[in-house]
C-alpha cells in the first residue's frame, strides 16, 4: 500500500467537500489503486493545523463546521501561523492541494514544485495568469501539476484536451463555462429579478464569494483562458475580451425566449482570439444548458464536432475534479 501525504490549503466549501470524499472513498482508493491518503496539514485563513501522524478529517470537519475556523482547534492540535509559502516549505508532504481563491497562489505553487511537491488545484487565477511558468516548471521537475476542477468542475474537459485528444488539432471551442450567470439568466426567463436570482445563486453556493467575478464574466474568462492554453498555446487573461451579463435586461431575456432562443454567457475560443459575452443561442443548441450545467462544443480536424456537457459548479461536483487529480497525481508520484 502506498501512502501519499497531502497538505490541503483552503477549507471552505470545496476543501470540505474534498475532505468528505477522501473519507467516503478511502476503501475505494485502497482497493482500486493501492493508495492511502494521509493529510498532514490543513490551512484556512485562521491558521494551519499540522500533525505529522496525520489529521483526523472527521474532527477537522466538525471543528470547521461548528466554529467556522480551524484555529478553534487548540485543545487537541497545535495551530501554526504560517504563510502559504512557509507552510509549503516547512511541512512534509508529497502533494499540495490548493482549494483556495488566493490570486497570488502561483508563487507558492512554484515553491512547491521547486522543492519537489506535486500540485493539484481548483484555483483559477494561477493558471489564467501564469500557465507557462507553472506547467514548464512541473514538466522540468517531472511533477504533476493538475487542475481539472478549474474549468467545468469535475466534468473532464481538461483531461480531454490534455490527455485524450493528443492527435487532433482543435479548430475552435464555444462554451458556457459559468453556472451563476446561467442560473441568473434562466431565473430571469421565469420573471425573477436579476438581484433576487443572484441572491439565490449565492445561497446555493454556486456563485464565488465575491460574485462580481461571475457577473462581469471574469470567472468564465479565466476558464476560457485556460482552455485556450490547452487547445492552442499559452496566453494570459489580460489578452482576452470579456463582457459580463450585468447589462442584460429582463426585456432582452424575454424577447429571446419569445423567439425560441435563450441568452447565455458564451466563451468563443479560437487560436489567438478569446472572447466572452452574452449571446443568443437557439433553444435546441448544446449551449442552451440549464442550471449549473456547463457545455463546450469543440471542433477538431479529425473528429469534427464534439460536445462535452456536465456539472460546471457545485461542491461535490468540483471536489470530483480535485479528487480525480489527487488520485492521478498520486499514481504519477508512485510511478516516479
Ligand atoms: N462561480 C463558478 C460558476 C463556480 O458559477 O460557475 C465554478 O467555478
What stretch of H or E contains 267? strand 261-270
Give me ligand 1 centre to Cα 150, in Å.
9
Among 176, 195, 191, 189, smallest CA distance to 292 is for: 176
Check 223, 261, 299, 332 and give the catalytic one.
223
Kindly report the CA angle at 7 between 3 and 13, in degrees rounded to 5? 115
Is beta strand 95-98 parallel, antiparallel or unpaired with respect to 2-9? parallel
| Residue-level pLDDT at 265 | 98
Given a contact cutoff of 8 angstroms between Cβ atoms, the answer to whether 334 and 4 are in contact is: yes
Give me ligand 1 centre to Cα 224, in Å.
13
**pTM metric for this prediction:** 0.96
Tens-digit pLDDT profile for residues 190-216: 999 999 999 988 888 888 778 999 999
Dist. CA 331–CA 325, nearest whole Å: 10
Reported as half-sphere exposure (CB side, CA atoms, 13 A), residue 3 has a value of 8
What are the distances in angstroms from CA 308 to CA 221, 270, 286, 315, 322? 18, 17, 9, 20, 19
pLDDT value at 182 more than 90: yes
Mutate to test the pocket of ligand 1, among 17, 201, 207 (most ligand atoms within 8 A of CB): 207
223 in active site: yes
CATH 3.40.50.720 domain locations along the chain: 2-153+316-333
Biggest alpha carbon distance in the chain?
63
Given a contact cutoff of 8 angstroms between Cβ atoms, the answer to whether 330 and 95 are in contact is: yes
- Atom number in ligand 1 closest to CA 178: 6
Three-state DSSP state, 89: helix
| Residue-level pLDDT at 291 | 85
Mean of per-residue pLDDT scores for the chain:
95
Structural Rg of the chain based on CA atoms: 20
Measured by CA distance, the residue closest to atom 7 of ligand 1 is 313
Give me ligand 1 centre to Cα 20, in Å.
20
Measured by CA distance, the residue closest to atom 1 of ligand 1 is 207
Among 306, 326, 322, 290, smallest CA distance to 154 is for: 322
| 161-313: CATH architecture | 2-Layer Sandwich (3.30)
What are the distances in angstroms from CA 192 to CA 8, 106, 153, 291? 39, 39, 26, 14
Give me ligand 1 centre to Cα 151, in Å.
9
- Atom number in ligand 1 closest to CA 181: 5
Give me ligand 1 centre to Cα 86, in Å.
29
Dist. CA 207–CA 82, nearest whole Å: 29
pLDDT confidence tier of residue 78, bands split at 50, 70 and 90: confident
Q: Out of 3.30.1330.20, 3.40.50.720, 3.40.50.970, 1.10.3720.10, which CATH number does the structure's domain 2-153+316-333 have? A: 3.40.50.720
Pocket of ligand 1 (CB under 6 A): 178-180, 206-208, 214, 219, 312-313
What stretch of H or E contains 263? strand 261-270
Dist. CA 217–CA 242, nearest whole Å: 6
Three-state DSSP state, 20: helix
* Residue matched to cell numbers 487537541: 76
Measured by CA distance, the residue closest to atom 4 of ligand 1 is 313
Dist. CA 181–CA 197, nearest whole Å: 9
Measured by CA distance, the residue closest to atom 8 of ligand 1 is 313
CATH 3.30.360.10 domain locations along the chain: 161-313
Among 208, 172, 190, smallest CA distance to 254 is for: 190
Among 185, 101, 201, smallest CA distance to 149 is for: 101
| Residue-level pLDDT at 336 | 54
Mutate to test the pocket of ligand 1, among 123, 151, 178 (most ligand atoms within 8 A of CB): 178
Is beta strand 170-176 parallel, antiparallel or unpaired with respect to 241-242? unpaired
Tens-digit pLDDT profile for residues 300-334: 999 999 999 999 998 999 999 999 999 999 999 98
pLDDT value at 87 more than 60: yes
Amino acid at each position: 500500500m502506498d501512502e501519499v501525504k497531502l497538505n490541503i490549503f483552503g477549507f471552505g466549501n470545496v476543501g470540505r467537500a474534498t475532505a468528505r470524499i477522501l473519507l467516503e472513498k478511502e476503501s475505494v482508493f485502497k482497493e482500486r489503486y493501492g493508495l492511502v491518503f494521509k493529510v498532514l496539514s490543513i490551512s484556512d485563513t485562521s491558521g494551519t493545523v499540522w500533525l505529522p501522524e496525520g489529521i483526523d478529517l472527521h474532527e477537522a470537519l466538525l471543528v470547521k463546521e461548528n466554529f467556522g475556523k480551524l484555529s478553534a482547534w487548540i485543545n487537541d492540535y497545535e495551530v501554526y501561523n504560517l504563510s502559504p509559502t512557509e507552510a509549503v516549505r516547512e511541512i512534509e508532504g508529497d502533494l499540495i492541494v490548493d482549494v483556495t481563491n488566493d490570486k497570488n497562489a502561483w508563487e507558492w505553487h512554484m515553491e512547491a514544485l521547486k522543492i519537489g511537491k506535486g500540485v493539484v488545484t481548483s484555483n483559477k487565477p494561477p493558471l489564467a495568469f501564469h500557465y507557462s511558468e507553472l506547467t514548464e516548471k512541473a514538466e522540468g521537475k517531472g511533477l504533476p501539476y493538475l487542475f481539472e476542477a478549474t474549468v467545468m468542475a469535475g466534468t473532464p474537459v481538461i483531461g480531454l484536451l490534455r490527455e485524450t485528444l493528443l492527435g487532433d488539432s482543435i479548430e475552435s471551442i464555444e462554451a458556457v463555462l459559468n453556472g451563476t450567470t446561467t442560473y441568473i439568466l434562466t431565473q430571469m426567463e421565469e420573471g425573477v429579478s436579476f438581484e433576487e436570482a443572484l441572491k439565490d445563486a449565492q445561497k446555493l453556493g454556486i456563485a464565488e464569494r465575491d460574485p462580481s467575478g461571475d457577473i462581469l464574466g471574469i470567472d468564465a474568462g479565466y476558464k476560457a483562458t485556460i482552455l485556450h492554453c490547452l487547445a492552442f498555446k499559452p496566453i494570459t487573461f489580460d489578452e482576452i475580451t470579456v463582457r459580463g451579463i450585468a447589462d442584460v435586461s429582463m426585456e432582452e431575456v424575454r424577447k429571446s425566449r419569445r423567439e425560441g432562443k435563450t441568452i447565455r454567457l458564451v466563451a468563443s475560443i479560437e487560436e489567438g482570439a478569446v472572447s466572452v459575452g452574452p449571446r443568443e443561442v437557439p433553444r435546441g443548441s448544446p449551449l442552451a444548458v440549464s442550471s449549473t450545467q456547463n457545455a463546450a462544443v469543440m471542433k477538431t480536424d479529425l473528429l469534427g464536432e464534439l460536445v462535452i456537457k456536465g456539472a460546471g459548479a457545485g461542491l461535490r461536483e468540483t471536489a470530483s475534479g480535485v479528487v480525480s487529480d489527487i488520485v492521478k497525481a498520486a499514481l504519477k508520484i508512485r510511478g516516479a
